[in-house]
Structure 1
Amino acid sequence: MKIMNFSLMPYRHLDIPESHKHRSAWVVLPNTFYDPEKGANEYESFINLLAESEDLGFDGIGVNEHHQTAYGMMPAPNLIASALIQRTKKVKIAILGRALPLVNNPINIAEEFAMLDNLSRGRIICGFVRGIGAEYHASGVNPAFSHDRFHEAHDLIVKAWTTPGPFPWEGEHYNLNYVNLWPRVYQTPHPPIWIPSQGSIETIEWAAVPERRYPFLITFSARDSVIRNLTAYREQTKKYGYEADESQLGWAAPVYVADTEERAKEEARAGLESLFNDYLTLPVEMLLPPGYTSAASMKKMMGARAGIGMERQSLEKLIALGTVVVGTPKSVLEQIEQVREKTRFGTFVSMLQFGTLPDELARRNTELFAAEVMPELRKR
């Protein structure tokens, strides 16, 4: 099993009571809530926490992209990835993910990843996403074109990585006279592409196509939904005539480990409840704008989220649903293995800092997970 340490890099100094006077911590929250001095310190802290993962034995570290929100301070995850490249030597660096439909020229993304792939000498993993609904309010891109723009941007990027240039591109959404990537990617034929998702039917079918076989990473979902979606991906590969490899199946979840169950809950409570109730609150029209997804996928995604972003979530409810993994090393291992046994997933993306969780607890959590949970996961 491959194990990663992932961070959202939230703005932990958010005045949460005052932020509740606004509809959401996304898009409409005034940027006067952000203090640049405190924010600069936060970036330094988060980069330190992730860079330390290499010495702790993680296979990879992960960052991602969000816009105009206190939930995650990475509108340009390529910049964070570049900083991490300079702080590490061997660990993989996964950008989970880069929202393809939000850009007017996908070649910009192709170039970013090519540069990072060279700077890291082949340690980059690309996570391609459509971006959640709120990103379309922030960018002004019509969500009705989300799927089409994503697919065309993906095809253009992969061709730019693998086809000698210059060549022209004439598509529905992007038209370029010259595609001629400098620099070329370091990995052959290109960096690995992963697809983080919350279980869209269309995404599962698209990612599992034999010529792609992209790893499917289910995120922020209840345990039953994780099992159901990873099983759906495996069944889809069978329909395509092949058996999914374990490396094609992944699960991402917040994790907190302590020496007793009581201590784990006590220390994790504020961070996890702030993540799901304060940073992740989104009105439904912001989360799922008209045209963003099909009716069938919308119902499926709403079930997967189990109210996340739309109703308050207690720590006890999050644990019971299996949306988060909290406990002693033994119980955390058992919770992960419960999903592993039913899905045979091969990649676990652990979020070991979340919400308002301070550095001291995040570091202790990461070290205990690496020392007592990670080795056992690998053995099994």
Structure 2
Amino acid sequence: MPWPDLPDDFRERYRSVWVDIDSRLFEPRRGHEVYNTYLDQLEYAASLGFDGIGCNEHHQNGYGLMPSPNLIAAALARRTRDAAIVVLGNSIALYNPPVRVAEEFAMLDVISGGRLVAGFPVGTSMDTNYCYGQIPALTREKYAEAHELIMRAWREPEPFAFNGRYTKLRYVNLWPRPLQKPHPPIHIPGGGSVETYDFCIDNTYSYSYLSFSGYLRARALMEGYWERVAQRNTPDSSPYRAGFAQTICVAETDAEAERLYAEHVLYFYNRCLHIFPGFADAPGYRTIKTIQSGALAQYGARFRYQPMTWKELIEGGHVIAGSPETVRQRMEDLIRGLRVGNIFCLLHVGNMPNEKTMYSTRLFAERVMPALRGMWPDYAGDDRFWCHPLENPVTPAPLARGFAAAPACDAEVSP
């Protein structure tokens, strides 16, 4: 949900789209239209048969207008029926107390009829360390404690006391409890820490690499993940243990894709990812193990993009764009090359207007997505990493108009 009205000279006039961006660039009346348009696009995707629709959490920026993804998810839960509500996710180290995440995710799971897919990101350095003031070297320790509290709150039916370093609660007694048992499936967004590999393996969570560098540059990192899965003697190497986010633009031809979408893709990469390098990696945010691994050479510049052309973005795999056939072929290369079972399709890009977004979304759903569904037939029954909705969920009542009549009585009563 990027802000679509950043000025043409944004890179020259402002040092960063994140943390210290001039808040006067946000115009609330325009924001009213923007938020509702983005919700329309997500609901439209749900109507086209996407397995899920997603939202995430970021703060003080023009890159993504979702400081509270749970508010977006709640709106989507009432206006959709079948699609999973994928919240990738709540930055759990920022919540005080973290049991708030357990409560709100439980509410979303119950309201949606068991359609929640939950996410627990550590959060970018911009969000956690600069916007919310968390001490960088303690962020992951605080994250681990928050995760322990949330999981205990979901699993333990009796009230318990929690005496952590950062959170101390005499009574933890979750109301409401999540519909899915023992808890909703969990995806962990990654993009900067090799410790996340082990965390996902230990807890049977899906590791989701979220990057705007595209699938070609992601291979080294994802190969490292699968090597770690093998080293740990993990019982299986199901592709649903992993996910990847990819920017996608579909048109009738490759030439039409460039004509329709180039300006919006360039807006995103050249303005929405213009981040002051000092905000991207606060000292202490990366662990020593991650630095020693050399992994930062692959993804350390995740939010440090120099101006690029359409050709550079396409050839580099940052963006998959073109005709349905072109997109299908490149998506198959991505899925096989990275061995991923969960694809997060970034179909709205930058300041792309509504009609173009819906056009690209429809073409992908109708002419690309069906060819991709059966790519992992040996793992078709692996449902550990996806939600389990009710078979007959409640259907929201139609909006009433005017005054409602009084309910009829079963019998007349006389004095």
**Structure 1-normalised TM-score?**
0.93
Match of 1:333 among 328, 331, 352: 328
- In structure 2, the partner of 1:219 is 210
Q: How far apart in 2 are the matches of 1:167 and 1:100?
A: 20
Q: How far apart in 1 are the matches of 2:214 and 2:140?
A: 25
User: Does residue 240 of structure 2 align to residue 247 of structure 1?
Assistant: yes
Q: How far apart in 1 are the matches of 2:288 and 2:309?
A: 29
Counterpart amino acid of residue 364 in structure 1: Y
- In structure 1, the partner of 2:229 is 237
User: Does residue 249 of structure 2 align to residue 259 of structure 1?
Assistant: no
- In structure 2, the partner of 1:345 is 340
Match of 1:64 among 42, 56, 60: 56
- In structure 2, the partner of 1:194 is 187
Q: How far apart in 1 are the matches of 2:262 and 2:219?
A: 25
TM-align CA RMSD: 1.7
| SS state at 1:129 partner | coil
Call closer, same or farther: CA 1:305–1:350 in 2, change over 3 Å.
farther
Q: How far apart in 1 are the matches of 2:11 and 2:32?
A: 20
- In structure 1, the partner of 2:381 is none
Q: How far apart in 1 are the matches of 2:132 and 2:170?
A: 25
| SS state at 2:249 partner | strand
Q: CA deviation at 1:19?
A: 6.4
**Contact persistence 1:54–1:88 (CA under 8 A):** yes
User: Does residue 261 of structure 2 align to residue 268 of structure 1?
Assistant: yes
- In structure 1, the partner of 2:378 is none
Match of 2:358 among 355, 363, 367: 363
Call closer, same or farther: CA 1:35–1:143 in 2, change over 3 Å.
same
Per-residue displacement from partner, 1:95-134 (whole Å, max 9, x unpaired)?
1121111222101111110111111011011111011111
User: Does residue 149 of structure 2 align to residue 125 of structure 1?
Assistant: no
**Contact persistence 2:44–2:358 (CA under 8 A):** no
| SS state at 2:295 partner | helix
Counterpart amino acid of residue 141 in structure 2: D
- In structure 2, the partner of 1:27 is 19
User: Does residue 59 of structure 2 align to residue 99 of structure 1?
Assistant: no
**Structure 2-normalised TM-score?**
0.85
Q: CA deviation at 1:185?
A: 0.9
Call closer, same or farther: CA 1:139–1:307 in 2, change over 3 Å.
closer
| SS state at 1:94 partner | strand
Per-residue displacement from partner, 1:208-245 (whole Å, max 9, x unpaired)?
22xx1211111113323322222222222222222221
**Contact persistence 2:188–2:200 (CA under 8 A):** yes
Per-residue displacement from partner, 1:31-62 (whole Å, max 9, x unpaired)?
11111110010111000110111221100000
Q: CA deviation at 1:16?
A: 4.0
Segment drifting more, 19-28 vs 49-58: 19-28
Matched residues, percent identical?
35
| SS state at 1:93 partner | strand
Segment drifting more, 172-181 vs 294-303: 294-303
Counterpart amino acid of residue 43 in structure 2: A
Q: CA deviation at 1:165?
A: 3.0
Q: How far apart in 2 are the matches of 1:104 and 1:280?
A: 29
Counterpart amino acid of residue 320 in structure 1: E
Structure 2 unaligned residues grouped into runs of 5+: 376-415
- In structure 2, the partner of 1:3 is none
- In structure 1, the partner of 2:315 is 320
Q: CA deviation at 1:310?
A: 3.9
Q: CA deviation at 1:152?
A: 1.1
1:151-190 correspondence runs (5 A): 151-190=144-183
Counterpart amino acid of residue 271 in structure 2: D
**Contact persistence 1:197–1:219 (CA under 8 A):** yes
Q: How far apart in 1 are the matches of 2:246 and 2:335?
A: 13
Counterpart amino acid of residue 165 in structure 1: E
Q: How many residues align?
A: 370
**Contact persistence 2:221–2:298 (CA under 8 A):** no
Q: How far apart in 2 are the matches of 1:85 and 1:309?
A: 35
Counterpart amino acid of residue 121 in structure 2: V
Q: How far apart in 1 are the matches of 2:33 and 2:50?
A: 24
Which of structures 1 and 2 has the bigger CA Rg? 2
Q: CA deviation at 1:307?
A: 6.4
User: Does residue 203 of structure 2 align to residue 207 of structure 1?
Assistant: no
- In structure 2, the partner of 1:311 is 306
Structure with the bigger percentage of helix: 1
- In structure 1, the partner of 2:393 is none
Q: CA deviation at 1:148?
A: 0.7
**Contact persistence 2:162–2:168 (CA under 8 A):** yes
Q: CA deviation at 1:176?
A: 1.2
User: Does residue 67 of structure 2 align to residue 75 of structure 1?
Assistant: yes
Q: How far apart in 1 are the matches of 2:16 and 2:119?
A: 26
Q: CA deviation at 1:76?
A: 0.6
**Contact persistence 1:197–1:217 (CA under 8 A):** yes
Match of 2:283 among 282, 286, 290: 290
